Structure 1
Amino acid sequence: MLSESLARITSLPARNFMALVIDDGSDDRTSRIALAADPALVRLHRRTPPNARKGKGAALNDGVRHLRESGLLAGYDPADVVLCVVDADGRLDPHVVQSVDPYFDDPNTGAVQVCVRMYNRHLGLLARLQDMEFVVYGDVFQSARRFIGSVGMGGNGQFMRLAALNTLDGDGPWSDSLTEDLDLGVRLIAKGWTNMHCTTAAVSQQAVLSLKRLIRQRSRWFQGHLQSAGLVPLILRDVPTRPAIDLLYHLSSPVLILLTSLLPVSFLVAVGATAVASVQAGHPLVSPMWLLGPYLLSFTAAYAYGYVYARRERDLGLVRSVLLAHVFVFYGYIWFFAGWWGFWRMLTGQRGWLKTART
C-alpha cells in the first residue's frame, strides 16, 4: 500500500513539495520502501522505541518537529507551507494540489479537508457501504458545515497551513486523543482559523472488508469522540455562536447514539407483542398501511443519500444507489455495537491505539 501511495504522490504534477514518511517503529517494510523512493521527493523519519507507537498524534507531532528542526523548511514562510496528512493506504487524486491550492489564497484558511473514497469499493457490499458513508458525509454534512464554519478534519487527506499549526498550544498540533483529527479541527477554529472542505478532489483509502475489524475501527473513533468532551469549555469560550452550536451537537453525538441504540430493542418488543396479540385474536391487529409511517420515518433519508451517491457513482445508477441506501440505513446500526464497545473501553480505562487492521 505504501509503495503505491508514494508512487502516486511523487507523480503529482506539482514539484514544490516533499513527502516525509514517518516510520513509527513499524515491523513491516516501511523504511525500505521509503528509502527506495525518489530521494529528491521522499524523506524518511524513523521513530524508535520507547518513543514510537504512542498513537498517531504523537507520530504527527514528531514529524512536524523534525521538519522544523532539520532545516528542510529553512527560508520558507510558515504561512506559505502547507502540510498534508496521508495514511499509508492513501491515494491522492492527481489534481489534488490544483484543487486545494486556491483555498489557501485566503490568509484566514488554516486547513482544508478533501473528500474520502474507498478505492476497493467494488469488492463487496461492506466496502461499497463504507464508500457511500464517506461520500454522504462529505457531500452533505461537510458541505453544510462549510457554510456554518465548523468543517471537521479527517485522518486522511487533511491539508494544514504550518502557520496555523504554530498557533496551537501544547506539545504539538495534535493531541493524544484517539480522534486527534477531530481535536485539531476544533482547536484551529477556536484560534480563529477557517477550515474548508474541498469537494473537487479526494484521497482514496482501503475499505475494511471484515465486519469485526470495521466495528473495531469505529469503536476507536467513538471512544475518541467521548474523549473530545474536554473540548466543550474551549468551544463555549472561543468559538463563535453558529459553529459552536454545530460543534457541540457533533460532540454530543456519542451520547445520542447510545440512547438511540435502545430504540430498535423497544421497536422489536412492540412488534413481537403485536404479533402475539394478533395470533391470539385470530386476525391482524395492525393494518398494512400502518407500516407506511415507520417506513417513511426510517428510509426517507435513503432517497436523498441514494441521489447524492449516484452523482458520484454514475455507473451504479440512481435506482441501484437508492436501493443501496436502504441497506445503508441498516449499516448505520454498526455504530450501536461500536459505541457500546468504545464506551466500555473508556469505562475500563483502556486507551490503547486500536490500529485499523487492513489487508
Structure 2
Amino acid sequence: MTVLITYIANMVYLAVLGFIKRKQLDHIASVALNPLPTVTVQLPIYNEHYVVDRLLNACAALDYPRELLEVQVLDDSTDDTKEIVAQKVTQLQKSGLNIVHIHRNHRSGFKAGALANGLEVAKGEFIAIFDADFLPQADFLQKLLPHFENQKTAFVQARWGHLNRDYSLLTLLQSFSLDAHFAIDQLARSTSDYVFNFNGTAGVWRKSAILDAGGWQADTLTEDMDLSYRVFLRGWSAKYAGDVEAPAELPVSFTAYRRQQYRWARGSLECAIKYIPTIGNLNFLLRKNFKPHFISRVIFYIY
C-alpha cells in the first residue's frame, strides 16, 4: 500500500507540474536546423509480414531531401518477411530512395543488437527509429528536428497515436493509459529537465549521443530505457515533443498485451538494479531527478 500511495503522489505531482509548464511545449524552435542534417531511419523488424509494406511506404513518403535521408530495414525475420522486404526495397531503390536491407541470420542482442548493427554503418547525424506497427507521418522529421537546436539534446520523443483505439475495450483502456503517460509523465519531466526515457520508437536520436553513452546494450529487456539513463548520466538532456504524433497499432489480444507489460516491467527492474548503485554516487540534484523516475516506472508496471 505504501508503494502504491507513493506512486499516486508522484503522478499527482507530475500532473500539476505538467499543467503549469504545458505552455513551454507550444514553442518549437522557430528556425529550422541549417543546414539540414543527414538522417538515418532505422526500422527494426522481426516477422512482420502483415505490416512491413505499409511501414516502408510511410518512410518513403517522409518529407525530407532524398540526398540527406537513409533508410535501414534491420530485419531479423525468420519467415517470409525477408522476401517481402527484399522485393519492396528493390522497388523503392528504383524510385530514388536511399534504402538498404540489412538481414541477420541470428538474433544476437535482439532489438538492441539489430540497432547496434545498423548504427555501425549508418550515415546519418541523427537516427530516427520506428517499430513495425508505427506509421510516421510525412512531416515527422521536419517537426522533430528543430528540437535539436540545443547541441546537448540527445533524443526527442514524439507522442504515440493509436490507429485501433476503438477496436475493443482492451485497446481503448490501453490508449487511455498511454495518453496519460505522455500527457503527464513525459511532458512534466521534459519541461522540468528531469530524467525520462525514450519510448523505444517514434523518436530521433543524435548519433553522437548514442556513441558517447556506449551504444545500444542488450543486458536488459528495455534497451531504450537503459540507453536513456546512460545519456543523462553522461550529461545530455532530452525533449518530449507532444505536438508530434506517430500513429501505431495497440495489442489486440490480452496475451500480447500481458507479454508487452511483462517485458516493460522486467526491463524497468533490470535498469533499476543496474543503475541505482551508480546514481547513489551522484550529487543530490541528479539523485532527485532519477529516483522518482525509478519509483514511477517500477510501481506502474507492477500494478
Give the TM-score taking structure 2 as reference length: 0.74
Rounded Cα–Cα distance in structure 1 between residues aligned with 2:175 and 2:108: 28
Q: How does 1:287-326 map to 2 (within 5 A)?
A: none
Query: Alignment partner of 1:199: what SS?
Result: strand
Indicate the residue corresponding to 1:23 in structure 2.
Answer: 75
Indicate the residue corresponding to 1:4 in structure 2.
Answer: 54
Deviation at 1:255, TM superposition (A): 5.8
Over 3 Å counting, the alpha-carbon distance change for 1:144 and 1:45 in structure 2 is same
Rounded Cα–Cα distance in structure 2 between residues aligned with 1:201 and 1:254: 23
Residue deviations 1:217-264 (CA, integer Å, cap 9, x gap)? 1011101111112111333345x644532422222346646xxxxxxx
Over 3 Å counting, the alpha-carbon distance change for 1:142 and 1:242 in structure 2 is farther
Rounded Cα–Cα distance in structure 2 between residues aligned with 1:121 and 1:158: 21
Indicate the residue corresponding to 1:36 in structure 2.
Answer: 88
Query: For the Cα contact (< 8 Å) 2:128–2:205, is it kept in 1?
Result: yes
Query: For the Cα contact (< 8 Å) 1:22–1:45, is it kept in 2?
Result: yes
Rounded Cα–Cα distance in structure 2 between residues aligned with 1:131 and 1:41: 34
Indicate the residue corresponding to 1:64 in structure 2.
Answer: 119
Residue range with higher mean Cα deviation, 27-36 or 192-201: 27-36
Query: For the Cα contact (< 8 Å) 1:84–1:157, is it kept in 2?
Result: yes
Rounded Cα–Cα distance in structure 1 between residues aligned with 2:160 and 2:88: 28
Deviation at 1:159, TM superposition (A): 1.0
Indicate the residue corresponding to 2:127 in structure 1.
Answer: 83
Indicate the residue corresponding to 1:142 in structure 2.
Answer: 186
Query: For the Cα contact (< 8 Å) 1:2–1:88, is it kept in 2?
Result: yes
Deviation at 1:176, TM superposition (A): 2.9
Q: How does 1:335-346 map to 2 (within 5 A)?
A: 335-336=301-302
Deviation at 1:43, TM superposition (A): 0.9
Query: For the Cα contact (< 8 Å) 1:150–1:189, is it kept in 2?
Result: yes
| RMSD after superposition | 2.1
Rounded Cα–Cα distance in structure 2 between residues aligned with 1:63 and 1:180: 15
Q: Name which of 189, 194, 197 aligns with 1:152.
A: 197
Identity %: 23
Residue deviations 1:322-353 (CA, integer Å, cap 9, x gap)? xxxxxxxxxxxxx55xx7xxxxxxxxxxxxxx
Over 3 Å counting, the alpha-carbon distance change for 1:31 and 1:194 in structure 2 is farther
Structure 1 or 2, whichever has the larger Rg, is: 1
Rounded Cα–Cα distance in structure 2 between residues aligned with 1:111 and 1:241: 24
Indicate the residue corresponding to 2:278 in structure 1.
Answer: 234
Q: How does 1:172-321 map to 2 (within 5 A)?
A: 172-228=215-271, 229-238=273-282, 241-253=284-296, 256=299
Query: Alignment partner of 2:212: what SS?
Result: coil
Query: Alignment partner of 1:36: what SS?
Result: helix
Indicate the residue corresponding to 2:206 in structure 1.
Answer: 161
Rounded Cα–Cα distance in structure 2 between residues aligned with 1:255 and 1:14: 38
Over 3 Å counting, the alpha-carbon distance change for 1:12 and 1:255 in structure 2 is closer
Over 3 Å counting, the alpha-carbon distance change for 1:256 and 1:127 in structure 2 is closer
Rounded Cα–Cα distance in structure 2 between residues aligned with 1:248 and 1:111: 21
Unmatched tracts of structure 2, length 5 or more:
1-50
Over 3 Å counting, the alpha-carbon distance change for 1:7 and 1:254 in structure 2 is closer
Query: Alignment partner of 1:14: what SS?
Result: coil
Indicate the residue corresponding to 1:353 in structure 2.
Answer: none
Amino acid at match of 2:237: T
